[in-house]
Chain A
Amino acid sequence: MSASEFFQAIVDALVLGSLSGMLSAGFGLILGVTGRFHFAFATTFACSAYVAIALVGAEMPLYLAILVGVLCAVVLGVAIEWLFYRPLVRKTRHALLGVFVTSLGIVIVGENVIQLLAGSSDENLNVGYTVSRISFGGGVGVTTLDLVTFGVSVLIIAGLWAFIRFARYGRAIRAVQENPSMAQAVGINPALVAIVVFAVASAISGLGAILLTQRGAASPSAGLQPTLTALVVAFLAGLRSSPLRFAVAAVLVALLQQLCLLAIGAVWTPVLTFGILFVYIALSPLLNMHRLPGMPRLRLRPAPGG
């Protein structure tokens, strides 16, 4: 690995890690607040990209199409919570597994519905501006698309952090996250909070899909890999952590992936990603016993109803 490859890997990790951090913050928000393993995050992801592509194809201005695409992801995410998860949680004592299986089912159905409606070939989404490369010297550089990806991701992460910290609904989210019963006792409606959480996280998944599609292409199963990576990052960062911690964890994972790719080989990169999760979960009891100040505790709150 040359010096330029190493420094380029750091730059790439910052760009890809910020995007992954944004998606992880959305996925982790749902998991941390509602306890739902919402793998259908991949479905809202794909929905947003395909709707935007369809609308651009129908001559709608690009940024308006993106906005509508993200809104569709919001509607779909909220609908999934409302129509599928909530009734399940109400009726089942141990809803964790039920929600998990339901979300996997939605992913499979969603992927196939997209294939039925839009075909199985990959789709392109224009960027809307000229992509050029900015060199830092020594063979290291970024493209304008990288900068936009990084900028949007950082803005969303910072915005989400500020929303949860300062906004009225954000504080309600934190209250439900910390102690749902007490939050309910003081007049917070947890069902409404769950809807807000799903709306915000689905919007994030939609925006992430747009950014990733502009870098590559949309396919019916394009959301699966980012969702799995988001799951790893969410666990590493701690499920009730701040979005800023998600971002840091995502950048570290992305950096490890980039360096693994350069130093060891492509075959080992997915192994590394899930290896990190495996080692972390295996060691978490020890880490929790001998926890240093500031080290996140691995805590999975029982699912509502469970």
Chain B
Amino acid sequence: MGSNDVLSDTDGSDAVRRVSRRNLLKRAGAAAAFTAVGPLVAACGSSKSTTSTTTGSERSTTGTSSASATSTAGAQIRELLGLPSGKAAAQGITVPVGASMALSGAVAIYGHLDYTAIKLAAEHIKQAGGPELHVQARNNELANAQKGVANAREWGGSGVPVVLSSGSATVFSELPYYSQFKMMGLEPGGATKLGEGKPFFYQTRSEIPNDQLTGISAYLKAKHPAFKKVVMVGLAYSPASDKLQEEAVKQTAASSGWSYLGSFFAPVTTTDYSSLISQIQSAKPDFVLCAIYGASVGVFLKQYATSGLKAPIIGFDYTPEASKVAGSAISGYQFAFDYFDASKPPNEWAKLFVAEYERAYGEEPTYYSANYYEATFLIWQMIREIVAKSGDPTKQGNAYVEALTANPKFPSVYGSGGKYGTKEISPTTHSLVRVPMVYCEVNSEGKVQVLATFNKGSNSEFKLV
């Protein structure tokens, strides 16, 4: 202790003070109080499961994951999807699979939803007589480009042939490495037009917001023809994505006969939407398109509800977290996208998936979980294609792209009726050709009511429910 240490005690030597019983007891008391906070905090939150919390930000899983699926699930899936067994199913092969997702930070909920589904799918695939997928999950904090680059380099260098990514392949930072190392990247989380046609990169969900706007336009024409004036609000993720969304809304407004009054963005880190609400108030729109995602939707709705504004909010996203945060302010919120309704699974495979997910994790799967679950099965489909052509699915190269090009249709937990739905990827755009989507409204209890169904690129398939 130096003489200039202004915070030192005024009596006694350091040595005596450090070992004294009184001092020890004091510290033990403080430590106990610190520890006592834990159980209190633990009582918080409805989510019973936890997410990654390591600073190393990496996890890996193979067949024996904590998902511990029931032994009959694999057999049921093999029967439902009509899958082969033995060598044709790539049994006995171990394939490394990269997984880039938010495992820490404010958006770790997405990583939780994605990773739980991938683990369950890997377990189901193994039980169904398929290969062992060695999933190497790495943290990308959803949109941290530096993390994305580090992850892609690591997988590229260690020979990983296929990656399940998120955050539009961590805002495109991973894409150059997919090409360099010839490893396929699948994006089941957030697809956009910006990702179309990129080498080795394929998007397995609807493109936000272009695909959703088709259904929104059709619904409003049918149910609210008097709605003419529109504004869009969103979070400023990046200039490119902001412009993309703005242009999509402008184009839809022009083709729908709406008057486009402007797009207003708030900083991505904000929890205060007063400026957006003020701008909406000045613009006086008939309805508001909401390009805010995840739980932030709930925060926005909570603040919007107290503003006295009545223009309905129509979003491109909905998660139970949004409802939890918004409380009663969620009432009347409408959204349109490829939403997965776990309370009404649309086909037999979806029913099995929901039951298995609930059993493994004690909560209903969201659309993120559904997307990553079926995308993991798409990997197995490509592995089977490669094996059938005597290729090696454990190696990087063109094999995965060729397998997907040869068979661009894959089974989906979306799509109504029958054993399973089907999705198809365009070999040109690398995005889905068709995506079954819904237009919904949420009531004050957070219950979702489907108001209409529609499909990507097909106005004729729009149906009011």
A79 touches B41 (CB 8 A): no
A112 touches B53 (CB 8 A): yes
Tell me if A231 counts as interface (CB < 8 A to partner B). no
Tell me if B254 counts as interface (CB < 8 A to partner A). no
Given contacts A90-B1, A116-B53, contact A72 B275 (CB under 8 A): no
A117 touches B9 (CB 8 A): no
Contact of A113 among B26, B53, B266, B267 (CB under 8 A): B53
Tell me if B461 counts as interface (CB < 8 A to partner A). no
User: A residues within 8 A CB of B55?
Assistant: 108, 112
Instruction: Choose among B34, B41, B105, B271 the residue with the greatest number of A CB atoms under 10 Å from its CB.
Output: B41
Minimum CB distance partner of A269 in chain B: B267
Tell me if A190 counts as interface (CB < 8 A to partner B). yes
Distance in angstroms between the alpha carbons of A219 and B325 in the assembled complex: 11
Tell me if B269 counts as interface (CB < 8 A to partner A). yes
Contact of B5 among A90, A124, A215 (CB under 8 A): A90
Distance in angstroms between the alpha carbons of A184 and B11 in the assembled complex: 11
Distance in angstroms between the alpha carbons of A283 and B298 in the assembled complex: 42
Tell me if A98 counts as interface (CB < 8 A to partner B). no
A54 touches B306 (CB 8 A): no
User: B residues within 8 A CB of A34?
Assistant: 7
Distance in angstroms between the alpha carbons of A114 and B104 in the assembled complex: 11
Given contacts A79-B33, A266-B236, contact A120 B109 (CB under 8 A): yes
Tell me if A288 counts as interface (CB < 8 A to partner B). no
A118 touches B239 (CB 8 A): no
- List residues 68-119 of chain A with CB under 8 A from any CB of chain B: 72, 75-76, 78-79, 82-83, 86, 89-90, 93, 108, 111-119
Distance in angstroms between the alpha carbons of A53 and B47 in the assembled complex: 14
Given contacts A225-B269, A262-B275, contact A119 B47 (CB under 8 A): yes
A50 touches B41 (CB 8 A): yes
Tell me if A16 counts as interface (CB < 8 A to partner B). yes
Interface string of B299-312 (1 = CB under 8 A from A): 10011011110000
User: A residues within 8 A CB of B47?
Assistant: 118-121
- List residues 48-90 of chain B with CB under 8 A from any CB of chain A: 48-51, 53-55
Pick from B278-286, B346-354, B386-394 the stretch touching chain A: B278-286
B274 touches A12 (CB 8 A): yes
Tell me if B16 counts as interface (CB < 8 A to partner A). no
Tell me if A61 counts as interface (CB < 8 A to partner B). no
Contact of A53 among B2, B5, B44, B299 (CB under 8 A): B44
Interface size class of B (residues with CB under 8 A): 35 or more
Taking the nearest CB of chain A, how far is it from the CB of B155, in angstroms? Answer: 24
Contact of A121 among B7, B54, B109, B281 (CB under 8 A): B109
Contact of B307 among A57, A113, A133, A265 (CB under 8 A): A133
Taking the nearest CB of chain A, how far is it from the CB of B101, in angstroms? Answer: 12
Distance in angstroms between the alpha carbons of A217 and B319 in the assembled complex: 15
Pick from A2-10, A151-159, A166-174, A240-248 the stretch touching chain B: A2-10
A72 touches B281 (CB 8 A): no
Contact of B40 among A55, A183, A225 (CB under 8 A): A55
B5 touches A143 (CB 8 A): no
Distance in angstroms between the alpha carbons of A190 and B4 in the assembled complex: 12
Taking the nearest CB of chain B, how far is it from the CB of A174, in angstroms? Answer: 14
Given contacts A122-B324, A191-B9, contact A215 B303 (CB under 8 A): yes
Distance in angstroms between the alpha carbons of A145 and B308 in the assembled complex: 13
A76 touches B34 (CB 8 A): yes
User: B residues within 8 A CB of A86?
Assistant: 7
Distance in angstroms between the alpha carbons of A187 and B235 in the assembled complex: 54
User: B residues within 8 A CB of A183?
Assistant: 6
Distance in angstroms between the alpha carbons of A176 and B8 in the assembled complex: 12
Taking the nearest CB of chain A, how far is it from the CB of B388, in angstroms? Answer: 40
User: B residues within 8 A CB of A114?
Assistant: 41
Tell me if A139 counts as interface (CB < 8 A to partner B). yes
Distance in angstroms between the alpha carbons of A106 and B302 in the assembled complex: 31
A190 touches B279 (CB 8 A): no
Taking the nearest CB of chain A, how far is it from the CB of B464, in angstroms? Answer: 33
B308 touches A135 (CB 8 A): yes
Given contacts A82-B30, A116-B53, contact A215 B41 (CB under 8 A): no
Tell me if B358 counts as interface (CB < 8 A to partner A). no
Tell me if B119 counts as interface (CB < 8 A to partner A). no
A90 touches B8 (CB 8 A): yes
A267 touches B236 (CB 8 A): yes
Taking the nearest CB of chain A, how far is it from the CB of B224, in angstroms? Answer: 24
Distance in angstroms between the alpha carbons of A73 and B302 in the assembled complex: 26
Tell me if B265 counts as interface (CB < 8 A to partner A). yes
- List residues 116-147 of chain A with CB under 8 A from any CB of chain B: 116-124, 126, 131-133, 135, 139, 141, 143, 145
B271 touches A265 (CB 8 A): no
Tell me if A26 counts as interface (CB < 8 A to partner B). no
Minimum CB distance partner of A218 in chain B: B44
Given contacts A115-B50, A115-B51, A139-B281, contact A75 B37 (CB under 8 A): yes
Interface string of A175-219 (1 = CB under 8 A from B): 010001101100001110110000000000000000010011101
Given contacts A90-B14, A215-B303, contact A113 B38 (CB under 8 A): yes
- List residues 179-224 of chain B with CB under 8 A from any CB of chain A: none
Given contacts A118-B44, A133-B307, contact A266 B51 (CB under 8 A): no
User: B residues within 8 A CB of A72?
Assistant: 37, 40
Distance in angstroms between the alpha carbons of A99 and B335 in the assembled complex: 47
B295 touches A265 (CB 8 A): no
Tell me if A282 counts as interface (CB < 8 A to partner B). no
Q: Which 8 A-B pairs have the closest CB atoms?
A: A180-B6, A119-B47, A54-B44, A216-B271, A112-B53, A120-B108, A122-B295, A266-B236
In the assembled complex, 30 residue pairs joining A and B whose CB atoms fall closer than 8 Å, in A order, are: A8-B281, A12-B278, A51-B40, A51-B44, A54-B45, A75-B30, A75-B34, A75-B37, A113-B53, A118-B45, A119-B46, A119-B109, A120-B51, A120-B108, A121-B324, A122-B324, A135-B308, A176-B6, A190-B8, A191-B8, A193-B7, A217-B298, A217-B325, A220-B108, A222-B271, A225-B269, A258-B274, A262-B279, A266-B267, A269-B267
Beyond the given pairs A34-B7, A133-B306, A216-B303, 15 more chain A to chain B contacts, judged by CB atoms under 8 angstroms and listed by A's residue number, are A50-B41, A55-B43, A89-B7, A113-B41, A117-B44, A118-B42, A119-B46, A121-B46, A122-B295, A132-B306, A143-B307, A219-B106, A265-B265, A266-B265, A304-B7
Residues of chain A whose beta carbon lies under 8 Å from any beta carbon of chain B: 2, 4-5, 8-9, 12, 15-16, 34, 47, 50-51, 53-55, 57-58, 72, 75-76, 78-79, 82-83, 86, 89-90, 93, 108, 111-124, 126, 131-133, 135, 139, 141, 143, 145, 176, 180-181, 183-184, 189-191, 193-194, 212, 215-217, 219-222, 225, 258, 261-262, 265-267, 269-270, 304-305
